[in-house]
Structures are given as C-alpha cells and as structure tokens.
Structure 1
Amino acid sequence: MSSFGQLFRVTTFGESHCKAVGCVIDGCPPGMQLTETDIQPQLTRRRPGQSNLTTPRDEKDQVVIQSGTEFGVTLGTPIGLFVPNQDQRPHDYSETDFFPRPSHADWTYLQKYGVKASSGGGRSSARETIGRVAAGAIAEKYLHTAYGVEIVAFVSSVGPVEMPFIQQMRSGKTDPGFFTLLNEVTRPQVDADAVRCPDASASPAMCQEILRAKEESDSIGGTVTCVIRKVPAGLGEPCFDKLEAKLAHAMLSIPATKGFEIGSGFPGTAMNGSVHNDAFVSRTDEQGQTTLGTTSNYSGGIQGGISNGENIYFRVAFKPPATISQAQNTAKYNGEAGVLAARGRHDPCVVARAVPIVESMAALVVMDAVLIQHSRTMSTSLLPVAEKKNPLMYGI
C-alpha cells in the first residue's frame, strides 16, 4: 500500500508527471513548532539538478503545509504536505506505449493493475519519495528536540570504488577510523562533496566512475551508509517487528534498492563469536546516570530486535538506474522483438540523491518506535508497582 508506520503513519501520493506529489501524516504529536523551513532543507538535498552527477530535471520541490498546523505549531491533526511538479515532459516517454522498459516497473504494474501511468515511472518513480522525505523531516525534528537524535547518511561506494572500511570489513578486520567517523560525521561534511562521500581518498574516484557511466550513456550503482546516534534504548518489538526488521522494510521500500545489512552485516559471518560479541561496560549517560554500554558495536546498536543505546548503523545497496540512453534489444508488449532507446532525464547514479531519502526513512522508523514505546511506558506508569526484584526497573 502507500502508507507506512503504525502510530506515526505516513501516506504518500502522486506520480512522476502528475500535477503534484506529497503526503499526509497522521500521529504527529501536538504542540511542536513546525513551518516549511523545517522541511525544505531535506527536500532541497533530495531534489534533481544539483550537479552534473545527477539528472538535469529542474524541480524546485518547494513544500507547502496545507493542514495540521496553526501559527507554526502542530495541532495533532493530520498534516498535509503538497509539492507541485513543475518540469514535466510526458512526451519523453511515448516509446513506453509500445515497450516495457528493461528493469522498470512498466510490465509489473500493468500485470498488477491492468493499467499504468503513461509517462515516467508513475508511483514507481523516485518522485514518490518526496513525501517520504518531507514526513521524515518532521519526524526528525521531533526526535532531535525530544532526544537529541542525529541521523547522518553518506555514500560509501560507487560501482567498484569503496570507502576503505568496506574493504577491511570484508577481509574480517575492523577499521577504528570507521567508528570514529560514525561518531563524528555531520551533514555539512557530507554535503561538502558532490558525491556526498566524506572520504577524500575515495570521493574523486567515485565521481569519475559516475561521469564515466554518464559519458557512455550508462548508469552505475552504489551503497549508502547511515548512522543514527543518541537513540534511546528499548525501542523495537520482539519477533516480527524487530527494529532492524522495520529498518530493512523501510530501506528496501526505497526505489532502486537491492540490499540491506546492519552492523557487521555479511562480513560479520566470517568472524568468530569471541570477536563479534559486544561486551558490556559501565557508563555514565548525559544525565549523569550509570548505565551500560558496549566495548564494540558489531550488533549495530540493536540486540534482540531492540535498541541498546549504541549507534545504529547500516548500509543500503542501490542498483544502477534502469533508464539509460543506450539502445537495448528487448521486446514490445505484444512480444515482438525490437530496440528501445529511452529518452528522458535520469541520474547516472542515484546514491548521492538517495542520502536524504535513507535518512528520512530511518527517522520514520525510529519515530514510530518511540511513539509505540511511549504508549507502553505510559500505560505501565498508571499501574501500581509490581512486587518484583528488578533493580533496573524499580531502583532496588
């Protein structure tokens, strides 16, 4: 469906070449200061036409809050967000009347609905993510205001070019500099680079890889790494709604994604448990309270499906964009063989623009988990204290 979340629920609307896209957000707490200026920065980071590494489609992606606030404060009622589509070129897609584009959703949408959008990818287009990013900006504001949560994503690979930590992890080694990066990297540092890679040794080669694909009328894939800092411990549900399962659901719902790994991920399968286990140590939190932390963080901040208070970090794989300008041998809808040379404007690599989308989906997952946990702790607080000898719960 087109909705995501349980208590903080987001429904997106719009197609790639319709009049507008946007979303409706239900469950945002009342009393939070909110204007378009809180939402626009992430949409601007996502928008097309940012550099010669992205699609030249010229969209300003200016958001308008249509409901759910008054005098710049949330009312607790549904928030409607609206973003017009301005630079539409439906005529660029006339060939899709005859050809399902290779690796696009033209054929599958037609099989599912019996009809499809005649231009662009319709709902399968990355323009749909505008609503996600706008909603994520609101979730992120609440999380940062209430808990100081920080979410930063960055490009960690493009094609065969990888940041050094990936290569080391694949060989079963740990790069201490990677964990320092997770603790310290900021969005301004990420945005200072056109590829959005904070590693000066890898970024130029990534840029060249994208430009090479563009010059050859081709495309290339890559990965985005994301860290979520200052996440409260105790978020997530046992079994089916584990926090990493919800993150995987969120990330793999983003267009063009093909893989997700959290913490040590696939390289962790080559490690021994004696190395991989995250031992506990005593720590003092920001409020001066004694708590537990871990000496390492191969778990990626989640154990048993529940956040443990450490940094949550994960990596998302994006395939090469399906739209390329090269002529491709394929078949028409009627089965007749033919050659398709797609027109239109497209990204030679999506990862740089995917960074704010990954951050926003992470914010939606954590926001929903926070509200679910709030409902549990509030319900428990109304009950008399049970006679149990649990030192953490009852201060014994």
Structure 2
Amino acid sequence: MSTFGKAFRVTTYGESHCKSVGCIIDGVPPGLALSENDIQVQLTRRRPGQSNLTTPRNEKDRVAIESGCEFGYTLGTPICLTVQNQDQRPHDYSETDFYPRPSHADWTYLQKYGVKASSGGGRSSARETIGRVAGGAVAEKYLSEVYGVEIVAFVSSVGAIDMPTSAEGMSGPEFQKLLSTITREQVDQNTVRCPDQETADRMQEEILACSREKNSTGGIVTCVIRNAPVGLGEPCFDKLEAMLAHAMLSIPATKGFEVGSGFSGTRLKGSEHNDAFESDANGGLRTRTNHSGGIQGGISNGESIYFRVAFKPPATISQDQQTATYAGQEGVLAARGRHDPCVVPRAVPIVETMAALTIMDAVMQQNARSATSAKLKPVPAELKGIKPV
C-alpha cells in the first residue's frame, strides 16, 4: 500500500510525470514549530539535476504545506505536503508502449493492475520518494528537538569501489569510530556523498564512466542513528530491525539490507560477537562493543543503530537492449528519458528520512504504552524479575 507507519502515518501519492507528488502525514504531535524551510533541506538534497552524476531532469522540488499548520506550528491535524512536477517529458517514454523495460516495473505493474502509467516508472519511479522525504523531514525535526536524535547516511560503496574502512565490516573499530562522528556536512562535501575524499573521487569517475557508456551501476548506503531512545520496537513481528528493513526495502532499486555486524557477523564465534555490558555514567548499562547494531531482541538498547542498504544499478539505461515486446516478439529497445547512472548519491536523504519515519513511529508507540502504564500502581521491585547480586 502507499501508507507507512501506525502511529505516525505517511501516505504518499503521485507518479513520475503527473501534475504533483507529495504526502499526507497523520499523527504529527501538535505544537511543533514547522515551516517549508524545515522540509526543503532534505528535498533539495534528494532533487534531480544537482550535479553531473544525476539525471539532468530539472526539478526544483519546492514543497508547500497545504494543511495542518497555522502561524508556524502544527495543529495535530493531517498535514498535506505538495511538490509540483514542472519538467515533465512524457513523450520521452513512448517506446515503453511497445517494450517493457528490462528489470523495471512496466511488466509487473501491467500484470498486477491491468494498466500502467504511460510514461516513466509511475509509482515505481524515484519521484514517489518525494513524499517519503517530506514526511520524514517532519519526523526528523521532532526527534532532533525532543530526543537529540541524529541520523546520518553516506555512500560507502559504488560498484566494486568500497571505502577502506568498509573492508573490515561495519562492526570494525575504524568504521565504528566513523559512525560515532560522521556529520551531514562531511557527507555533503562532495557530490558522491562519500566521506572519504580519495574514495569519492574514484566513485565519481566510475559513475561518469557509466554515464558516458549509457550504462548504470549500483552501490551501498550506510546509515547511523545516534541517541535513539531505549525500548523502541514491537516484538515479535514489528521488531525494530524488521521495521527498518521494511522501510529501507520499500525504497525503489533496493535489493539488500543488513543491520549491525550483518552478514560479516556470521563469520564470528559467539564469544567474539556478544556485546558485554558495563555500567554507564547514569547508573544504567551500556555495551562495550556494538555488534548488535543498537538493537537486541528487536528493541533498541541505547547504542547507535547502524545498517547498510544495497541499491541495484538503475534499470533504465540508454543502451540498445535485445528484449521482447509486450506481445512476445523479439526486438531492440532503445530507451530514452533522463536517468541516474547511479542512484546512491541521491538515495542518502531518502534513507535518512525513512529511518526517521521508522524511529518516530516506534517512539509514538512506546510513548503510548508508557503513558498508559504510568497510570497503574508501580510493580513491586521484587516482582520485576531482577535481583541484586
């Protein structure tokens, strides 16, 4: 469906070449100071045409708040956010009337609905993510103001080119140091959005080479969430990592997700992988290592949450491709249109805002439980299932 979340719900609308795209957000707490500028920052980081590494489609993606706010504050009622599609060229896609593009959604949408958008990727286009980014920017502002949550994503690989620290795995000491300090300002210092400049230069050359060859390449976006509250996640089927996976794998072009030590953790023994506890400065506990990625038993434990998302090479390329028509006749598709040779630089704010939507929804669900429980008499200490040593 087109709605994400339970307590903080974002419903996106729009296709690649319709008049506008956007979202309706339900569940925004009243009294949050909010303006278009708060939302525009992430939309500008996502928009096309921002560098020679992206599609040349020229969209400013200016957002308008249509409802749910008055005098600069949220009312607690549904917020409608719209962005006009201005640089529409549906005629660029006339060949898709005859050929379904290989690895794109033309064929599957037609089989599912019996009809498809005549231009572009319809709802499978990256234009749909504008609503996600706009809604996630609102969630980000609340999380930052109330909890000090920091969400930073960056490009850690393009094709076969990896950041040096990625080779040791996400739970390696150098990568963990990077995750604890990385900022969006550092990420945005180059157009690839890779914080290692030497690696970014190589990535840029790879993307430009694909563009010259009318081809495409994939990559990986890594994301860290710092200062997330303890206790987020709804076992058993809405564990926090499961909801993050749901959020990330709903983004167009994604093909993989791993949290914490991920697949590299399978190479460790339990004695190496376990995160031992130690006392923190506030009379509680923290973990000495963070192979778990800030989530244990599906519930956030107060450590940084980190994960990686794999993006495939964009399906639409301008090379001639031997394929078949909708009628099954062999032929050559010569696709046109304007497309990213690699989506990961523009995917960074999409990953960040989808992470914000997930954490915001989990926060509201946990707060509902806590507020309801607080009206009961406290559980006696001796019945809480813990005993002093």
Normalised-by-shorter TM-score class: over 0.9
Aligned-pair Cα RMSD in Å:
1.5
Q: Are 1:290 and 2:283 an aligned pair?
A: yes
- 1:74 positional shift: 0.3
Aligned-partner Cα distance in 1 for 2:66–2:107: 35
Paired position in structure 2 for 1:77: 77
Give the Cα–Cα distance (whole angstroms) in 1 for the partners of residues 43 and 382 of structure 2.
50
Aligned mates of 2:5, 2:387 — CA distance in 1: 32
1:113-156 deviation line (CA, Å, top 9, x unaligned)? 00000000011100000000000000000000110000000000
1:380 and 2:373 are equivalent in the alignment: yes
Distance in 1, Cα, partners of 2:94 & 2:337: 10
Structure 2 equivalent of residue 18 of structure 1: 18
Alpha-carbon contact 2:245-2:257 (below 8 Å) kept = yes
Among 274, 280, 287, the alignment partner of 2:271 is 274
What CA distance in whole angstroms lies between the structure 2 residues aligned with 1:121 and 1:339? 19
Matched with 1:320 is 313
The residue that corresponds to 2:65 in the other structure is 65
C-alpha change, 1:276 and 1:282, in structure 2 (3 Å) is same
1:177 aligns with 2:174: yes
Secondary structure in 1 matching 2:104: coil
Query: Alignment partner of 2:307: what SS?
Result: strand
Structure 2 distance, partners of 1:198, 1:393, is 44
Alpha carbons of structure 1 residues 276 and 22: separation in structure 2 relative to 1, 3 Å: same
- Tell me the CA shift for residue 394 of structure 1: 12
What is the CA-CA distance between 1:390 and the residue it aligns to?
6.0
Residue 233 of structure 2 corresponds to 236
- For 1:208, the equivalent position in structure 2 comes to 205
Segments of 4+ moved more than 4 angstroms:
390-395
Query: How far has the Cα of 1:393 moved from its partner?
Result: 10
In the superposition, the TM-score normalised over structure 2's length comes to 0.98
| Aligned residue in 2 for 1:124 | 124
The answer to whether the Cα contact below 8 Å between 2:132 and 2:353 also exists between their aligned partners in 1 is: yes
Output aligned runs, 1:132-151, within 5 Å.
132-151=132-151
1:368 and 2:361 correspond: yes
1:80 aligns to what SS in structure 2? strand
Tell me by how many angstroms 1:239 deviates.
1.1
Supply the distance in 2 between the matched residues of 1:166 and 1:226 (Cα, whole angstroms).
Answer: 13
Residue 344 in structure 1 maps to residue 337 in structure 2: yes
Per the alignment, in what secondary structure is the counterpart of residue 369 of structure 1? Answer: helix
- 1:166 deviates by 2.2
For residues 188-235 of structure 1, what are the alpha-carbon distances to aligned partners after superposition, in whole Å with 9 as ceiling and x for unaligned? Answer: 100011100001231111111111111111000000000000011100
Quote the residue 1:254 is aligned against: 251
Give the drift of 1:392: 10
Distance in 2 between the 1:244 and 1:175 partners? 20
1:354 aligned residue: 347
1:226 maps to what in 2? 223
**1:307-338 Cα deviation digits (max 9, x unpaired):** 00000000000000001000000000001111
Letter in 2 for 1:236: G
- Note the C-alpha offset of 1:175: 3.3
SS at match of 2:198: coil
TM-score by length of 1: 0.96
SS at match of 2:222: strand
Q: Which residue number in structure 2 is paired with residue 107 of structure 1?
A: 107
**Alpha-carbon distance in 1 for matches of 2:28, 2:387:** 31
Compared with structure 1, are the counterparts of its residues 356 and 392 closer, same or farther at alpha carbon in structure 2 (3 Å cutoff)? farther
Distance 2:350 2:91 in 1: 28
Structure 1 partner of 2:29: 29
> Hey, what's the Cα distance between the residues in 2 that align with 1:32 and 1:295?
36
SS at match of 2:140: helix
1:6-36, Cα deviation, whole Å (9 max, x unpaired): 0000000000000000000000000110010
Q: Deviations over 1:52-100 (max 9, x none)?
A: 1110000000000000000010000000000000000000000011000
Name 2:296's counterpart in structure 1.
Answer: 303
2:183 equivalent to 1:186: yes
CA–CA separation in structure 1 for the residues paired with 2:159 and 2:358? 28
Aligned-pair CA distance for 1:351: 0.1
Aligned position for 1:198: 195
Cα distance change on mapping 1:385 and 1:393 into 2, 3 Å: farther
Q: Check conservation: 2:15, 2:21, Cα contact below 8 A.
A: yes
Number of residue pairs the alignment of both structures matches: 388
Cα deviation, 1:148-179, whole Å, max 9, x if unaligned, reads 00000000000000012222229xxx632211
- Please tell me the residue identity of whatever aligns with 1:9: R
Three-state SS of the structure 2 residue aligned to 1:244 is helix
Rounded Cα–Cα distance in structure 2 between residues aligned with 1:149 and 1:159:
31
Q: Which amino acid aligns with 2:248?
A: M
